[in-house]
Amino acid sequence: MEAPERIDLVNPVVRRRLREADDDWEGYWARAAAELPWFRRWDEVFAWDPPGFRWFTGGQTNLAYNALDHHVRNGRAGHAALIALNERGEQRVFTYGQLQRSVEAVAAALRGLGVRRGDRVAIYMPTGPEAIMAMLACARIGAIHLVVFAGFGSSALAERIRLAGARVLLAADATWRKGTPVDLWRIASDAAGDPESPLEKVVVLQRGGSPVDLDPGRDMAWEEFLARGQGQSGDYEVMEANEPAFILATSGTTAKPKLAVHTHGGYQVAIRSAGAWCFGLRPDDVWWSTSDIGWIVGHSYIVYAPLLFGATTIAHEGALDHPGPETFYRILEEHRVTGVFTAPTAIRMLMRYGTEPARRFDLSSVERVVSAGEVLNAPAWEWFQREVFGGIVPVIDHMWQTETGGPVIGNPYGIHMLPIKPGSAGIPLPGYSAEVRRSDGTRCEPGERGIVVFPKPFPGLTPTIWGDPGRYGAEYWQRIPGVYYTSDAAYVDEDGYFWFSGRADEVIKIAAHRIGTIEVETAFLRHPAVAEAGVTGRPDPVRGEVISAFVVLRPGHDPNEALRRELVETVRRELGPVAVIGEVNFVSMLPKTRSGKIMRRVFKAVILDRDPGDISTIEDAGSVEQAREAWLQMREELQRQPGT
């Protein structure tokens, strides 16, 4: 980005880094890449053949080698690499040496199944050691992993396997969610039985205690799978920087998934750099990302980036509030966690329980908390930073996407933390270019809402969509010709800080005024009775649209007309008369994607009484049928309320 014209809030150290990156963009990224080991240095930093591009062409590397072998060879074999926890109280710890040996065993087993460089391997497992070993093993031998969140229904899993052309599926038979076992094997088996499935072999990790039915020609147990590695090499492949390491579907706010591609070279440069610049990651960290490996956050900041630094990473399987809200804080205390990556959804969930659970634990080891997924609303930020962490620990918002691999806009904590503006994602990090533009491609003025675009690529940006390069160009680089279209709406203030207001297609237009869904939801959260809020626009013959709100109340508050009026007045006080509320609907839950994003198109479907399309990615629904039941539940709750 160009250094902000107004620099009162930008520290001179940050300003210098921004200008260094702007003056010598390729040189800046070359210096960032040099922080990692390479088998062979690149011939060319960047080559652009729009819409595609290549980073570090000719460079030879391996993502898994740099995450494990490099540290073992440099004397850190005995340092804790992975602490694996689950909601049932189980714990396993792996040093770098132990994790490397385990990954080598899985790599040899994959070769024993006939998996070779460039083959796709689907992984349908919860966040646990075997899944992480499988990811690293695939990268180690040059196979391309596709992790599918362990909770998607069989149709969603089968579709992703077909799109990727995966030959092998590694699955678990069960996981647990708030103490309840979830049958993953039935879902995996159904998906594998799809008549169009390219799968040849399915491996199941049995952990549920009950036997599973195996197709003898297709399926095998994990132990048999590992035995296939006998006589096979577990060594790493030397990969060219632009060879794919993995593909990952976008999180499901659109109806048809897109498989973003991330490479061995550019991806690791991006997540390692952003880990240093944005999060201040370092080798002595005990780092906990509360995400799931099924999402890009889990890939980048549970697995790969912490291991690239030689840090200790925590992987937690299950709900953060099971068996109670103290679970989150207990993990922080017991493992002396220094850095936390979480999501606004998790913070708002903890907020519903109040601060009492937090006060029972020593949180003094925590140095910083970062949050992403959606905008961290100011009320949630204020509660977490000021009440939970006493105003001592910074809670920092930032923005990125599946397609970007890692953070793009944030507060450069690892360089020099800037003043936090609650509700803002921060500024573009050094080396990144981001602008807000109108639909005609012209730049917006400060304070004017538009579409966030990236004028040029960066190493972590997906260079294509797997199997659909035409869609990549059409949806990302041609909607506003010549720039990458993020589909996110925002404005930039006079200090260069970005303020996101939701997806571009979710902006509500009231009497020619544009208002972001995030802004309205934040206003609702200002009321002490509100735990969560989601909004959408409803057609109105006079104003074009008005706001339809769905509100989840905190314990101890009951829906009534007086409360409705209070909530409407709260929003009007925060946003002014432009925020016209059509109705306030009290609901018991909000529909969310598996990564925690509110699925506002489900609200729209409920209001307009129409089918919402593919809602198989809705949170806490293991199949399309269960997802549709959640949609029906919202409709029924709406129909029971007065005036509907």
| Res 400: pLDDT | 96
| Res 633: pLDDT | 66
Q: How far is the C-alpha of 535 from the C-alpha of 600, rounded, in Å?
A: 7
Selecting from 1.20.1440.230, 3.40.718.10, 3.30.300.30, 3.60.130.10, what CATH number does the domain 507-640 have?
3.30.300.30
Using an 8 Å Cβ cutoff, are 412 and 386 in contact? no
Mean pLDDT in residue range 261-276: 98
Four-point Cα dihedral 83, 89, 90, 92, nearest 10? 20
| Res 598: pLDDT | 79
Q: pLDDT-based confidence at 619, cuts 50/70/90? A: very low
Mean pLDDT in residue range 210-233: 95
Q: How far is the C-alpha of 156 from the C-alpha of 201, rounded, in Å?
A: 19
Which H helix or E strand runs over 65? helix 63-67
Class of domain 12-34+398-502: mainly beta
Positive or negative, the CA dihedral 590, 591, 594, 597 is negative
Q: What percent of the chain has pLDDT over 90?
A: 75
Positive or negative, the CA dihedral 459, 460, 466, 472 is negative
Mean pLDDT in residue range 627-640: 61
pLDDT in tens, 55-78: 999 999 999 999 999 999 999 999
| Res 169: pLDDT | 98
pLDDT in tens, 372-418: 988 898 999 999 999 999 999 999 999 999 999 999 999 999 999 99
| Res 467: pLDDT | 94
CA 202 to chain centroid: 27
| Res 374: pLDDT | 81
| Res 9: pLDDT | 60
pLDDT in tens, 496-527: 999 998 777 777 878 656 677 887 898 899 99
Which residues on adjacent β-strands are paired with residue 451? 437, 489
Q: pLDDT-based confidence at 602, cuts 50/70/90? A: confident
pTM: 0.85
DSSP letter for 417, please: P
| Res 64: pLDDT | 98
pLDDT in tens, 409-464: 999 999 999 999 999 999 999 999 999 999 999 999 999 999 999 999 999 999 99
Domain ranges of the chain: 12-34+398-502, 61-319, 507-640
Q: How far is the C-alpha of 54 from the C-alpha of 46, rounded, in Å?
A: 6
Q: pLDDT-based confidence at 5, cuts 50/70/90? A: very low
**477 phi and psi angles, rounded to 5 deg:** -110, -10
Q: pLDDT-based confidence at 596, cuts 50/70/90? A: low
pLDDT in tens, 457-487: 999 999 999 999 999 999 999 999 999 999 9
DSSP letter for 298, please: H
Using an 8 Å Cβ cutoff, are 517 and 600 in contact? yes
Give me the helix-helix angle, 561-575 and 517-525, nearest 10°: 120
Please determine, for residue 6, whether its predicted confidence score (pLDDT) is greater than 50.
no
Parallel, antiparallel or unpaired: strands 450-454 and 484-492 = antiparallel
Using an 8 Å Cβ cutoff, are 147 and 248 in contact? yes
Mean pLDDT, the chain, integer? 90
Using an 8 Å Cβ cutoff, are 329 and 366 in contact? no
pLDDT in tens, 345-361: 899 889 989 999 999 99
Residues 6 or more apart in contact with residue 191 via CB below 8 angstroms = 124, 154, 155, 157, 158, 161, 169, 197
Residues 6 or more apart in contact with residue 100 via CB below 8 angstroms = 68, 69, 72, 77
Q: pLDDT-based confidence at 128, cuts 50/70/90? A: very high
| Res 74: pLDDT | 98
| Res 638: pLDDT | 63
Class of domain 61-319: alpha beta
| Res 629: pLDDT | 56
Q: What is the amino acid identity at position 404?
A: T
Which residues on adjacent β-strands are paired with residue 586? 551
Q: What percent of the chain has pLDDT over 70?
A: 91
Q: How far is the C-alpha of 132 from the C-alpha of 361, rounded, in Å?
A: 29
Per the model's pLDDT, the better-predicted residue between 401 and 2 turns out to be 401
Q: How far is the C-alpha of 584 from the C-alpha of 364, rounded, in Å?
A: 40
Mean pLDDT in residue range 294-310: 97
Please determine, for residue 330, whether its predicted confidence score (pLDDT) is greater than 80.
yes
Other Cβ atoms less than 10 A from the Cβ of 37: the count is 14
